[in-house]
Chains A and B, each alone.
Chain A
């Protein structure tokens, strides 16, 4: 048996807030195989976003191990993490995070500047990706001239621009209406079908239709689906 693509062991993330220690993640163990579509479910405050950011190397764990293809993120310095993100990660955010002064094309090409790709090939690759998400005709539009769903598709194209092994999406449909939301889900599902490893953090249950694996988080711990359902039911009864 080969090494798993992602291996997380005893992962903890604690931080101080108002004099109290918040245990955002409190001992999480997960293994994720390459080429899977994993959906992380959980109510707000369950630590699911924290997990995604730790996995993406945007935050440092309090303790525990994170390894992607055997590379230990928890042992890398900031520079190595930045280079790792550049090489292996694509991020999709709830609020799209496009640079408002840049066109769709420039936004998609932006990460390649840091990788030192030549201007001509940056443009070519960005146009190809915009075409792939169905926005080739919007290449010269600025984010303010695009709908939410279109902006998120630009963001997905940007996430793919360095050909990452892992695409991480944090509530990608959270700011979108139902129709645009499902369109984005289909785009992400297509990425998975094309062979990429995708991990989506969401509390939108519709996303689970596309998932090959599900992770449920409650109060910083991984729980089974049954436990998760029970807790959700309990919460509804309290209300």
Chain B
């Protein structure tokens, strides 16, 4: 019991001070029949060594991305994270502290959040950003609800390029809240359909760019259309690294920008924890969800930071809060901001360019394979290809050659009959050998 400091002697002494005969006396309010007489039927305590012996084999039955030629994106991205990031976030003072409710002894967390908010706002070219959401998908449902509060309307239109899991997350939470969610059919590029789908009760249109097929969309016409219809334009994304190279949504006039920040500072982690980035215009701030760090001064006039505008939040406003969210993604936020600080504008541009070049080279190489068509017209580091047969079958065959070749679109959305479409991603972590091996293997398989 290495984590429990009390000795039996301590326990006896403490019970005596309390005036209780046994620990059972302290559980008097528990209905007697509900008290377990013995430990539940699970294994007993084990040493570090024994636990490692159990956990390590579980880890080794998986094939980690780094052990293969790896081309998966579609919402999570494998990038190189500098060693110092993981070292710094494991410092006790960051790892084992709580929400900074006592700002006098939490300036480290608060200042890091303030820097994070600034970096997110600069990256997305938005006026303000919050201290993060759980992830991109839950941030998106919060954005949809926020748009409904701002516009006092209840219909939300989702482009067919929104990641299907994001669309399902939005539908699940928002329909319960009474919103009507209209998801357009899957489409590589559906600007016209989005514009057509707006009506007088539309609170927001949600367009993901780069979208799930990798397509980059010019958001300006959609912003214009949405604003003319009295709706907000919500720009969504799953690959934050893209904004090192492509025009950010804020520069195109988006009202809310929300997406996944995992690709900066955070490992793949089989889907979580990740970090949702959330930014908006100042005029909508009071309707926005999530924590905010703000600048102020202390009693001596020194600059410092506090959590602020918390009257929007559940612990004060209860059922009238802008969200039920009670945490942010603290440590993932810290990893993001440290990685971004290490990159700076120069590093970000360079790594983003490497991503794009690798993806372009891969697209060129795959397009050379007979029967393969690259579907995505404009992209950052991922794109869709159409294969002459089912993508899941091709993926299996590629696995046999040590290549994890992509995500079959039908895994994300089995309803659209796009069984032959494969979503492919290349990042700076892919070598030229990886790219060549992929094209050669695919050629082999399709012959």
Check if A and B associate: no
On A, residues with C-beta under 8 Å from B are none
On B, residues with C-beta under 8 Å from A are none
